[in-house]
Structure 1
């Protein structure tokens, strides 16, 4: 029988915590990975060696399964030697209020005196439209209706595998205020390459200060990397249409205030 977890306690080293597994502060964690080895004793020994080098000591191999003839999938459980100091954890806080659809519509009408135009797409070879559809389509996500539901937003959803030049051309033709790009495929950092290519293309095609609001979303983007990617905002997993709409109202308002 395991004991219930307790809230982290401050220490002389700061607000330091360890993972919880069987008892509070035991540091127990579970991780999974694949090694390019056939499943045998050598592969299991290699998995345990890797786990120890990653700070699990002792490490226990709790699952191993062949993934074809040349690969093995492992699950390892053990106590980590590393600590987490919460004082050193930095997160990106939302700097704008969440608005209802009614309030967002009123703000857009007041700021623009016309509909806000949003163009969305999955670019490159990415064919996963679930994310972009969850934000744009009227059916929405997590109980919230998508941007198509907003009376003062006009949505142009280009779908999947859209080439960057075509996205830029359509955004110009639609006089887009914002461009939303979803990137789910992340192998070999495809999401990074596609996004930087997209942002560079928009800055080349538009005069300075007239580039639409560039937003990207996907499960593997790093918080705070907007400036590196050349975009205005990154949204991760679990983002709702209301969050995106509220950000658009916030950003459009800031841009109007600077003119």
Structure 2
């Protein structure tokens, strides 16, 4: 399979590892501030995250930028207090309104797929669209890997929860939008990457239209046998190329604002 060139600006930028000074869009940990210790874990948050990253690497995640981003973002800050002891286990957790925060391994896998060849070249994406903000964790991870992150959530309560979670991090490169994710977000298009946290029977046409030539879309989608699979779509000059990967289990994709 031939490699296609990914988009230029605004779809590409040089990648800087967490800890480097890259401007106002960096997270608290990048500015050198000490992470907030998780209550109830009984262990240093950084050490717990490091062990999670080691498990992800052992499980096949090879992209160092992705591993470093997951090692930087404090997942326990995005889950309810009662679940904080499970924050760094490889499990999905409820976040309310019948929604979940994805397993760290799933976040890592989809993020690695989204970056694709850019990881190998030490480059990051410039403009990314996330469908389904949820609690804000995936957006925080993407903030370390992309120049701009536009994230759309249809559930007002989750939109506000994500805003509360992300506000202390002061991620100036993350833009939260309350809206219908099936429509994408045309104002920020074209996107070098689109990633979805909900799966439907087919890809919304708006997502394909808003994907830049050379860009990549990663989303769950229903397969013909009733399973839900991970779909990767690359947009080339010739058109769209699809790759169907492993089975996954995401909440259903819905339209409208609630």
One fold, TM greater than 0.5? no
Tell me: higher relative CO, structure 1 or 2? Use CA pairs within 8 A at least 6 residues apart.
Answer: 2
Q: Hey, which of these two has a bigger chunk of strand by percent?
A: 2
TM, length-normalised to structure 1: 0.28
TM, length-normalised to structure 2: 0.28
